């Protein structure tokens, strides 16, 4: 009972019609959706479902079994009937901040070549990324590097490779804590820059902006030590 993930092909799609496949204890499963399900450190999207005779808020989309996406409902909310056609609408302002934050994380990886990320958390107001890095540069250094890449307005796009190709190129994976989505036989690569002038390339199932200029300025607010070598980098969207 897999849900078609419309956001994978178009992260800017804000609403779509869908069919209710099932009710689940935590919410509703649709045949397709524009809402990203929580995973990889990125929160699940929020939004709403509307149908003939009703409307209900979706606090967060989460992963279900066998590729299903569950549209969670508040306790006591009345779900749309099974088989009903619904319009699923995305809370765009919140998602767009997640997209800007997530793309910034890829830029952080690009300024630390060969260094693995060990954890992350994306938020609409603040985010953080951990690295296996005993002696990090200053927060001002990170801010300068990130904002220069953002100002460069590099394109952001996606392509696909097979799981076998990823296995043959393990250096593409930059995270130790989050592994790329597998099981479908192919893996999505997110590229920042062009093939000729590549800024970053790594597997990722999340949502991103179309170009780095869309992020706007960011501010690195704090560096923290989280163990002998683990360093946590906190940042916010400054505009």
Average pLDDT across the chain, whole number = 93
Q: Which CATH number does the domain housing residue 206 bear?
A: 3.30.980.10
| pLDDT of the residue at 180 | 64
CA distances from 125 to 70, 79, 209, 215, 218 (A): 24, 30, 17, 13, 11
Number of domains in the chain: 2
Residue 34: CB atoms within 10 Å: 25
* Same-domain status, 107 and 57: no
The pLDDT tens digits of the residues spanning 111-169 come to 999 888 999 999 999 999 999 988 889 999 999 999 999 999 999 999 998 888 887 88
| pLDDT of the residue at 165 | 84
d(CA 131, CA 118): 5
The pLDDT tens digits of the residues spanning 169-185 come to 877 787 766 666 655 67
* Same-domain status, 115 and 231: yes
> Which of 73, 90, 107 is the last residue in one of the domains?
90
Residue 9's domain comprises 4-90
> Which of 90, 113, 133 is the last residue in one of the domains?
90
d(CA 140, CA 108): 13
To the nearest whole percent, how much of the chain has pLDDT over 90? 80
* Same-domain status, 101 and 136: yes
pLDDT band of residue 98 (cuts 50, 70, 90) is very high
* Same-domain status, 85 and 143: no
Enumerate residues 6+ apart whose C-beta is below 8 A from 187: 160, 161, 162, 163, 165, 166, 180, 181, 203
**What is the model's pTM?**
0.93
The pLDDT tens digits of the residues spanning 209-232 come to 999 999 999 999 999 998 777 899
* Same-domain status, 76 and 177: no
| Phi, psi values for residue 151, rounded to 5° | -65, -25
């Amino acid at each position: 009972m897999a849900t078609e993930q419309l956001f994978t092909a178009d992260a800017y799609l804000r609403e779509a019609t869908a069919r209710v496949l099932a009710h689940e204890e935590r919410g509703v499963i649709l045949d397709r959706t524009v809402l990203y399900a929580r995973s990889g450190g990125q929160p699940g999207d929020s939004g709403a479902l509307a149908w003939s005779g009703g409307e209900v808020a979706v606090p967060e989309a989460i992963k279900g079994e066998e590729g299903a996406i569950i549209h969670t409902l508040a306790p006591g909310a009345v779900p749309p009937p099974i088989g009903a056609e619904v319009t699923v609408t995305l809370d765009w302002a919140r998602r767009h901040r997640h997209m800007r934050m997530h793309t910034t994380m890829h830029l952080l990886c690009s300024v630390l070549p060969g260094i693995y990320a060990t954890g992350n958390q994306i938020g609409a107001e603040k985010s953080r990324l951990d690295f296996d890095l005993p002696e990090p540069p200053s927060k001002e250094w990170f801010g300068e590097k990130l904002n220069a890449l953002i100002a460069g307005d590099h394109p952001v796009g996606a392509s696909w490779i097979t799981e076998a190709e990823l296995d043959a190129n393990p250096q593409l994976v930059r995270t130790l804590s989050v592994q790329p989505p597998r099981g479908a036989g192919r893996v999505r690569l997110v590229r920042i820059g062009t093939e000729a002038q590549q800024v970053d390339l790594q597997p990722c199932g999340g949502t991103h902006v179309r170009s780095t200029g869309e992020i706007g300025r960011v501010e690195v607010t704090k560096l923290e030590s989280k163990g002998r070598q683990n360093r946590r980098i906190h940042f916010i969207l400054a505009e």
